Amino acid sequence: APPAPPPPPALPPTPPYPPAPPTQPPLTPPRPAAPPDKPPPLAPPPSHPSPPTPPCPPRMPPPPSPPPSPAPLLPPTDAMVLLPHVAKRSNYSKLGCGYVDPWLEVDLGESFRVAYVLVHNQPDVRALLLGRFELWLGAASGQPIDRCVSATAPADPLAAAGPLGYRCAGAGRYVTLKLPGSDRCLHVTDLSVYDVRAPRLPPPPPSLPPVEMPVT
């Protein structure tokens, strides 16, 4: 029999694999160092006790409001004689405000002796717009020459509504109410002019009959 073939040569041994590198932990940034502890806050200085608050003085009651201005006094109209006027005119065509030296004039028709004048104001809050005014007497229209009253209307609307009576002694045919100044309001509706009644004199005594003298 033929001889058996020789066995194949043996393979060299497989070298061992290198060991796996050790697993590295993930890199993390270093943490910042903790700040040093803050020192404890200083204790506040001891406070001195504040002085006691003085008590509030008692509130004084408000002063009483002044009484309303009384309307001027005048004799009753039945003790006087009304002098009716025949005409009335003004330097402004209508009642209103914003006027400069407005005036209201009444014509008595002829010259009379004058004793009192009634000013007829508005019966509402416009009565307070009268303010300071003057009353004049004159012999010609638009030419007052004798000022008999310089007054201020009462501050109370009821009293200012009037009629307001003032003593205006003199004589004349024209009676004029003037509001001196600028930005004035003329709301007076009329003027009533009066004279006092003249007292009646007793009748004269009867005349004595003539005395006849004896003839000697």
Q: What is the mean pLDDT of the chain?
A: 79
Tokens of 112: 């009379």
> What is the Cα–Cα distance from 68 to 156, expressed in whole angstroms?
5
Q: How confident is the model over 95-124, as pLDDT tens digits?
A: 888 899 999 999 999 999 999 999 998 888
Q: How confident is the model over 41-87, as pLDDT tens digits?
A: 777 666 666 777 777 777 777 766 555 444 555 666 667 889 998 99
pLDDT at 79: 74
What is the pLDDT averaged over residues 167-186? 92
> What is the Cα–Cα distance from 104 to 186, expressed in whole angstroms?
8
Is this model's pTM higher than 0.85 or not?
no
Tokens of 166: 């003032």
pLDDT at 87: 92
Asked whether residue 164 carries a pLDDT value surpassing 70, the answer given is: yes
What is the pLDDT averaged over residues 16-21? 65
CB hemisphere CA count around 158 (13 angstroms): 3
- C-alpha torsion 161→166→168→174, nearest 10: 10
What is the pLDDT averaged over residues 127-155? 91
Contacts of 184 (CB under 8 A, 6+ apart): 97, 98, 99, 100, 101, 102, 131
Q: Which has the minimum average pLDDT: 80-94, 142-156, 198-212? A: 198-212
* Secondary structure, 3-state, 111-135: EEEEEEEEEECCCCHHHHHCCEEEE
pLDDT at 124: 86
Asked whether residue 198 carries a pLDDT value surpassing 70, the answer given is: no
Neighbours of 42 (CB within 10 A): 6
What is the pLDDT averaged over residues 197-202? 57
Q: If pLDDT is split at 50, 70 and 90, which confidence band does 30 have?
A: low
Phi, psi of 105 (to 5 degrees): -125, 135
> What is the Cα–Cα distance from 68 to 64, expressed in whole angstroms?
12
Query: In angstroms, how far is the first alpha carbon of the chain from the final one?
Result: 251
| Alpha-helical runs (H) found in 39-183 | 157-161
Tokens of 26: 């993930």
pLDDT at 123: 85
pLDDT at 158: 86
Asked whether residue 204 carries a pLDDT value surpassing 80, the answer given is: no
pLDDT at 51: 72
What distances in angstroms separate CA 141 from CA 169, 173, 176, 204, 214, one per listed residue? 19, 8, 9, 41, 66
